[in-house]
Structure 1
Amino acid sequence: GAVTIGLTGASGGKLKENVDYLLAVPSEDTPHIQESHIMIGHIICYLIEKELFGG
């Protein structure tokens, strides 16, 4: 199947048991966690585009 990546806050919650890779932002501050998730999403897209289309 597909490789799964979970984006969470500090604890990982219930999601941590159900993903292949967990990217947990070490914070309890929701806006900070959300900003970090946006940045991580951009990095993942960049890496995929680089792999598919070269860099």
Structure 2
Amino acid sequence: MAHTISDECINCGACDDSCPVNAISEAGNKRTIAADTCIDCGACVDTCPVSAISA
């Protein structure tokens, strides 16, 4: 199951570079994770400064 980004996202982009498969992109005023691309590695979770990413 892919990780998800909640509405708490501040669209800072800190998670972008941590994703090894480039599954994170900007969507409106926050980031989103492509479920079909995400490999569920969790690398993005630790980089989010507002803890907006969860499994």
TM-score category, normalised to shorter length: under 0.3
In proportion to residue count, which structure has more helix?
1
**Structure exhibiting the larger radius of gyration computed from Cα positions:** 1
TM-score (norm 1): 0.25
TM-score (norm 2): 0.25
